Copies of this chain bind each other. A is one copy, B any other.
Amino acid sequence: MSGLLKSAKSIVPLLDRVLVQRVKAEAKTASGLYLPEKNVEKLNQGKVLAVGPGFTDANGNKVIPQVKVGDNVLIPQYGGSSIKLAGDEEVILFRDSEILAKINPDV
């Protein structure tokens, strides 16, 4: 028998999949009041934890993911496969082409 995976580090995405940890939104109002979990807005921002090797498309072209580990990215509201980890953590596997944009941290 076994249980939920302890760490996302053990997950090696296949094909052009990208493992993303969704950034948790501010759980406090500006004046410091804690928001109940269900009122905390689900941001569509995330951090890339791991990237698959890509795949060869129908015409033999090698398709490599555009994002790399450590990138901050914008992810769609829906889609992707969510994976529950031990300690109530959750990560999501997207196809590279589902990732909307990179977030440039220097701006």
Contacts and interface: CB of A to CB of B under 8 A. Distances in A.
A19 B103 CA distance: 13
A60 interface: yes
A13 to B, nearest CB: 5
- Tell me if A's interface is mostly helix, strand, loop or mixed: loop
- Oligomeric state, in number of copies? 7
Q: How large is the interface on A (under 10, 10 to 19, 20 to 34, 35 or more residues)?
A: 35 or more
A105 interface: yes
Contacts of A25: 1-4
A33 interface: no
Given A11-B101, A14-B66, 8 more contacts: A4-B25, A5-B103, A11-B102, A14-B99, A14-B100, A17-B100, A44-B83, A58-B61
